[in-house]
Amino acid sequence: MPQFLDTTAADFETTFAALLGAKREDSPDVDAIVADIIADVRTRGDQAVIELTAKFDRLELAPETLAFSAEEIAAAVAQVAPADRAALELAAERIRAYHVRQMPPNQLWTDPDGATLGWRWGAVSAAGLYVPGGLASYPSSVLMNAIPAKVAGVERLAIVVPAPDGVINPLVLLAAQIAGVDEIYRIGGAQAIAALAYGTETIRPVDKITGPGNAFVAAAKRRVFGKVGIDMIAGPSEILVIADKDNNPDWIALDLMSQAEHDASAQAMLITDDAEFGRKVAAAVDKRLETLERREIAGASWRDFGAVITVRDLDEAAALSNRIAPEHLELCVAEPEALAELCHHAGAIFMGQFTPEAIGDYVGGPNHVLPTARSARFSSGLSVLDFLKRTTLSKMTPEALNAIGPTAERLAQSESLEAHGLSVRARLDQLNR
């Protein structure tokens, strides 16, 4: 049973605060282990990566087999059913079309003082993408990470994906091929992150690392942050559905379960202004949980972290949503656009009853790598901006320097930075001799 909350209840604030604060993930203290792994890879390079892969993934590699060869990739993708290939290609096309629009413009202008100012965007030269192996090895995530990088103009895009016991999902390799990935290494864990960040004899270092991973991967990303850029530290997935009574309870139940089936730590919540509708959805969930393939995972998530919250009206729903700052927000109400205006903190908003969140996971176009654990308060989903950086540009004419230089000199003096001031003054003196 999920929790049932009602904003009119006396203990609502306490219960809701506990729900918000619930710790959904064990965070084993892997930091010391990860520090050792990174140090080992920095010192011993390929050899460390090879030994750690034998240990953790039961896979014996040599420097020349760290990467998949073109022949191996071709052989694997040849196994993929045409319908799966077509689906990945359509998804890739739609994701590309969306992300192309994110390319930000350069700007350059001259202000009234004669100063030319602006900025210029450029791509990171090399990026690395972590793809989990095993249960959570999703080809859609390869597309979602790799396509923005290639749209941004990243020249060299490398994937690391563990292949425990040598097993790899051919769809992951196909998705990488469709997205234009340049190198694919069959390694994972903290050792893969260390190899991407610091390089080995075989693997050249990258400038930016993105992609989800387990606690070891997350700890390693946090540690190499600064040496390279990283995207975010992702947590378990979440959905919040705000639905009025004019919805099919089974559709909403399936939307909730489509998050819950990801992970027993995932969280699915419903906010509704009709308590009766909330009960119908909960009943529909129970019915679906009788037959769903992943009912153990989805059931545990729903039981431990699920919630049905009844509110007085949709304004109250928006206010609660802003406190939750959900990764995915579905608005199944008569006027979703109006409600979206009130929802300030969400990774992605899905509007109306014909936009199940699963559309966004695959083919909508927007990225499915989104901020979790309330971080939509301050961060955004993955985009081309994650693979770009901005250089600011300035050029002063003598007139511009005459106009604003004395102010710079004054401020430098007030900060006791004499050379700053003199670097301006020397030029002004020459100009005004």
Going by C-alpha positions, the residue among 430, 424, 426 that lies closest to residue 409 is 424
Indicate the residue among 237 and 310 with the shorter CB distance to a copy of itself.
Answer: 237
Unique residue bearing structure tokens 């034998």: 54
Q: Which of 183, 238, 261, 327 is catalytic?
A: 327
Complex with a copy of itself: residue 263 or 273, whichever CB lies closer: 263
Q: Which is nearer to a copy of itself, 275 or 385 (CB)?
A: 385
Alpha-carbon distances, residue 379 vs 234, 259, 346, 390 (angstroms): 11, 20, 9, 18
Both tokens assigned to 88: 């990945």
Sole window of 57-65, 156-164, 181-189, 393-401 interacting with a copy of itself (rule: CB under 8 A) = 393-401
Please report the beta strands in 77-210, taking only residues with DSSP state E, as ranges in sequence order.
107-110, 116-123, 126-130, 156-160, 183-185, 208-210
**Binding positions for a copy of itself, 241-270, rule CB under 8 A:** 248, 250-251, 254-255, 257-258, 260-262
Q: Is 52 in the site for a copy of itself (CB under 8 A)?
A: no
Q: Is 345 an annotated catalytic residue?
A: no
Cβ partners under 8 Å of residue 395, min gap 6: 115, 116, 117
DSSP letter at 115 equals -
Residue numbers 55-114 binding a copy of itself by CB under 8 A: 83-84, 86-88, 90-91, 94, 97-98, 101-102, 104, 107, 109, 111
Q: SS3 of 392, please?
A: strand
Smallest distance from the beta carbon of 177 to a copy of itself, in angstroms? 16
d(CA 246, CA 242): 12
| Under rule CB under 8 A, residue 320 binds a copy of itself | no
Q: Segment 279-318, which members bind a copy of itself (CB under 8 A)?
A: 288, 292-294, 298
Q: Are 127 and 384 in contact (CB under 8 A)?
A: no
CA distance 357 to 53: 36
Q: Which of 63, 134, 164, 356 binds a copy of itself (CB under 8 A)?
A: 356
Residue 119: partners with Cβ closer than 8 Å, 6 or more residues away: 106, 107, 390, 391, 392, 393
The answer to whether 267 and 306 have CB atoms below 8 angstroms apart is yes
Of 56-64, 194-202, 304-312, 381-389, which segment contacts a copy of itself by CB under 8 A?
381-389
- Interaction between residue 367 and a copy of itself (CB under 8 A): yes
Question: Per rule CB under 8 A, is residue 373 in the interface with a copy of itself?
Answer: yes
Catalytic residue from among 99, 328, 357, 368: 328
- Taking the C-alpha atoms of residue 184 and residue 70, their distance in angstroms, rounded to an integer, is 10
Residue among 111 and 315 whose Cβ is closer to a copy of itself: 111
Q: Does 340 bind a copy of itself (CB under 8 A)?
A: yes
Q: Is 79 annotated as a binding residue?
A: no
- Could you give the CA distance from residue 93 to residue 115 in angstroms, rounded to a whole number? 42
336 binds a copy of itself, rule: CB under 8 A: yes
Q: Please, what is the minimum distance in Å from the beta carbon of residue 65 to a copy of itself?
A: 27
Is 149 one of the binding residues for a copy of itself (CB under 8 A)? no
Indicate if 328 belongs to the active site. Answer: yes
Is residue 122 near a copy of itself by the rule CB under 8 A?
Answer: yes
Q: Three-class SS of residue 290?
A: coil
Q: Is 47 annotated as a binding residue?
A: no
For residue 259, say whether it is annotated as part of any ligand binding site: yes
The binder of a copy of itself chosen from 7, 53, 140, 202 (CB under 8 A): 140
Q: What is the token pair recorded at 50?
A: 């090879």
Q: Does 423 bind a copy of itself (CB under 8 A)?
A: yes
The residue type at 420: H
In this structure, what token pair is assigned to residue 333?
């109400």
Is 328 a known ligand-binding residue?
Answer: yes
Binding-site entries for substrate? 237, 259, 262, 328, 361, 415, 420
Active site residues: 327-328
Binding-site entries? 130, 191, 214, 237, 259, 262, 328, 361, 415, 420
